[in-house]
Amino acid sequence: MEQATGRVIAETRAGILKIRIANSARYNALSMQMWEDLGAAVRNASVDDAIRVVVLTGDGTRAFAAGADISEFEDFRSDPALVQRFNAAIHGATAALASCRHPTVAVIRGICMGGGMSLAQACDVRYCADDARFRMPAGRLGIGYEPAGIQRMVDMVGAARTADLFLTARTFSGREAERIGYVQECFPVEDFAAMSAARVETIAAMAPLTLRAFKLALRAATGGADAPTSKAVEEACLACFDSVDYQEGQAAFREKREPRFQGR
């Protein structure tokens, strides 16, 4: 088996955790170890109240992520125990993103295919550059695709468009991704770094308790096996009114200044 060379790099600055998929020689394809490390990084971030936003991006400018590293398939897919571990690693990473307490943002340049799309659509928000290229090639590789990932895509672009993208395995552009609602905004390459960073910083400046309560409400609204109860959502919303940040938000509004939230 060829030795995997990629890694997942997590760096925090001013409450923004950037998780970088780094395997540029293979268009940031993820080895099994990288899937496991990515899931662990997101789960650790989810319980860290110092984190305001989790940003997922690829190393370099050629790719966000090309999906699972198929160079491992010959060995891993022939051993039932490793198949189970590989599938669990992929599901663990996407589930961690989907259930993260903090806002999650995918920042996409270049290639975003297969498992890369699974990661992107597990995030709350997606921004891409106009050099982004998306593709779901499962049908060309003879592999199954987890129902949760299909459901997320259906929720974003509808059943008919999801069927088109899966059944044809066609490549679509960043501009088309924006038009159909797969990404929220597609920026020109020359503006992408500044504009996507500005969006992330805007989210990071919001009241953390409010955003966590919103995420619970959003998960409850979209359903799923791990959807929170209405009581949990209500309690999270009520807690916002008892917070220091609520007092700060009201004071900032009265004083016509930017609020300085503490997350408590």
Asked if residues 84 and 32 have their Cβ atoms less than 8 Å apart, the reply is no
pLDDT of residue 2: 41
pLDDT of residue 77: 66
Report the distance separating Cα 131 and Cα 138, nearest Å: 22
pLDDT of residue 95: 94
pLDDT of residue 225: 65
Instruction: Reply yes or no on domain 7-204 having CATH 3.90.226.10.
Output: yes
pTM, to two decimals:
0.92
pLDDT of residue 227: 81
Cα Rg of the chain (Å, integer): 19
User: Residue 62 — φ and ψ, nearest 5°?
Assistant: -80, -25
pLDDT of residue 1: 36
pLDDT of residue 3: 45
Question: For the chain, what are the domain ranges?
Answer: 7-204, 208-255
pLDDT of residue 86: 84
- For residue range 31-74, what is the model confidence (pLDDT) as tens digits? 999 999 999 999 999 999 999 999 999 999 999 999 988 777 77
Question: For strand 125-129 and strand 133-135, is the pairing parallel, antiparallel, or unpaired?
Answer: unpaired
pLDDT < 70 regions, the chain: 1-5, 76-77, 224-225
- For residue range 81-95, what is the model confidence (pLDDT) as tens digits? 888 888 899 999 999
